[in-house]
A = this chain, B = another copy of it.
Amino acid sequence: MNYSITELSKMFNLPASTIRYYEKIGLLENVEHINAYRRVYDDAHIDRLVAIECFKKALLPLDEIKRFFTYEKDIVANSDNILNMMKAQEEATTKAMKNLDDGLKHVQKKVRYYTMVNEAVKNNTPLPSWEDV
């Protein structure tokens, strides 16, 4: 199938400017420009964008994502490279998860505390202390 930039934009909830930007930095390749002015995408581009979005969720920077796709063109020659890259990213993402989890717990405790504070303010009762949470 063929798709216009606006169709891709809606599919992926990405501005057209971002899709053009990805082509510019080499993340999207072999985009046909019909009559030298309008872009046409196919299913390979859809697959590529799905992969990009997944890697973005894992916090892989765009230049690394690009490097991955380059490696992927010769899997046999680059299986070490790809494996190392993915292992490194697994570690980085896991670390980010741990941090985020710590942060979430902190915020959740604040929610509990300020829910109590809010009640106390409304009922004109003494404010709770941080230890009461």
Q: Is A42 an interface residue (CB 8 A)?
A: no
Cα-based distance from A112 to B29 in the complex (angstroms): 27
Cα-based distance from A100 to B103 in the complex (angstroms): 14
Cα-based distance from A96 to B103 in the complex (angstroms): 11
Q: Given contacts A93-B103, A97-B104, A107-B89, are A117 and B79 in contact (CB under 8 A)?
A: yes
Q: What is the total number of residues of chain A having a CB less than 8 Å from a CB of chain B?
A: 38
Choose among A60, A99, A110, A117 the residue with the greatest number of B CB atoms under 10 Å from its CB.
A110
A101/B107 in contact, CB under 8 A? no
Q: Is A11 an interface residue (CB 8 A)?
A: no
Q: Given contacts A76-B121, A110-B86, A121-B79, are A55 and B115 in contact (CB under 8 A)?
A: no
Cα-based distance from A104 to B91 in the complex (angstroms): 9
Q: Is A44 an interface residue (CB 8 A)?
A: no
Cα-based distance from A111 to B100 in the complex (angstroms): 22
Q: Which residues of B contact A121 (CB under 8 A)?
A: 76, 79
Partner of A114, one of B54, B86, B103: B86
The 4 closest A-B pairs by CB, nearest first: A58-B103, A57-B103, A54-B106, A83-B114
Using A82-B117, A86-B107 as known contacts, list a sample of 8 further A-B pairs with CB atoms less than 8 Å apart, ordered by residue number in A: A54-B102, A54-B106, A59-B100, A80-B118, A89-B107, A90-B111, A93-B103, A93-B104
